[in-house]
Amino acid sequence: MALSVKGITKQIRSRKIVDQVSFEVKKGEVFGLLGPNGAGKTTIIRMIVSLMKRTSGEIFINGKSLDKDFKGALNEIGAIVENPEFYPYMTGYQNLVHYKRMSRKPVSEERLWEVAKLVKLEDALKQKVKTYSLGMRQRLGVAQAILHQPSLLILDEPTNGLDPQGIREFRGYLRELAGSGVSVLVSSHLLSEMELMCDRYAIIEKGKLIHIETMAETTTVKQDDRRDILFATDDSESAKQTVEKQLHFPVSIVDDTRILVSAAYKDAAVINATLVGSGCNVYEIHFEKKTLEDRFLELTNHTTGEENQ
């Protein structure tokens, strides 16, 4: 495992900010850490990167214990916690050279340019960082974080302030990194983006881990799942009466040509056949898809902590 978190707890006086949290991140996986503000996500990340001490629990990075082999474990991590900071009067290249010199692992010039190409900054590397857009600075942050070839990249709210195009590009970079074998642990409040970005996710609430699931399990339509199914027909009133009288499914009219039927996925074929058999033309069938946001709201009780941890 790239990361193994075992029963970590952070207690301040009588208050447990993080309470017995355990999860694992596989090699080449993008793993999301979700939760309401104040749930403890950033506290967990700070404990993993050793910016905050744990009260109890163990953390292993690429099999190395953070307690028994501190330097070895930290060598396996690249991280951006909050906004990446650089020297604005220096070029992107000079900033990366500065970080290269500080690395405990040797970093070649070839590796520096390889990373710049990966985050698509090779053409801007000789420009001063003060001329960079926010998206370019975020990409430079990722370049700096993976310069020493870590097995685990940790990102806390990495898309803050990015425009839609920047977010989309950033998502693409993370998928490329995961494809190359780097594991990514990412925390974000943008659920729609996390849905597109992550392979699995964990939900933290009030300092406790309440759910872990793959994104496929969340969004895949199951045969017996009951959901709203939209049928576009030539006459919604006639279609509504047909479905209610013959099949007894709840139906609501959207407009003159569309109805919503509350039924299981597997029932759609029967509804379609019934409508067509009754003389109603069916032009479109659309299934309501369950989203990560739906699952998140279903599992959390929307309680906000006293502060954003």
**How confident is the prediction along the chain (309 residues), in pLDDT tens digits per residue?**
899 999 999 999 999 999 999 999 999 999 999 988 888 999 999 999 999 999 999 999 999 999 999 999 999 999 988 777 899 999 999 999 998 888 888 889 999 998 898 888 999 999 999 999 888 888 899 899 989 989 999 998 887 777 888 788 888 888 888 888 899 999 988 888 899 999 999 999 999 999 999 998 887 766 667 778 999 999 999 999 999 999 999 999 999 999 999 998 889 999 999 999 999 999 999 887 778 888 888 888 644 333 344
pLDDT of residue 224: 66
Residue 301's pLDDT is 61
What pairing do the DSSP bridges indicate for beta strands 56-61 and 3-12? antiparallel
pLDDT at 309: 45
Taking 3-state DSSP, the helix, strand and coil percentages for the chain, each rounded to the nearest 5, stand at: 35, 30, 35
Separation CA 112–CA 100 (nearest Å): 8
Confidence at residue 223, expressed as pLDDT on a 0 to 100 scale: 62
Strand partners, 18: 10
Whole-angstrom CA distances from 182 to 36, 58, 76, 117, 270 are: 27, 22, 10, 16, 46
Pairing state between β 258-264 and 226-233: antiparallel
Residue appearing with tokens 């099949």: 247
Entry pTM: 0.79
Please give the domain boundaries of the chain with CATH numbers for all domains: 3-219 (3.40.50.300), 226-287 (3.30.70)
Nearest to 92 by CA among 73, 117, 61, 68: 117
> Taking Cα atoms as reference points, which of 216, 208, 217, 275 lies closest to residue 244?
275
Q: Residue 279: is it exposed, middle or buried by C-beta count within 10 angstroms (0-12/13-18/19+)? A: exposed
| Alpha helices by DSSP H, 75-230 | 92-102, 109-118, 134-146, 164-179, 191-197, 215-219
Residue 266: both structure tokens together: 């597997």
Residues of 47-82 as b/e, b for ≥16 C-beta within 10 angstroms? bbbeebebeebebbbbebebeeeeeebbbbbbbbbe
pLDDT confidence of residue 221: 64
Q: In this predicted structure, what is the pLDDT of residue 104?
A: 80
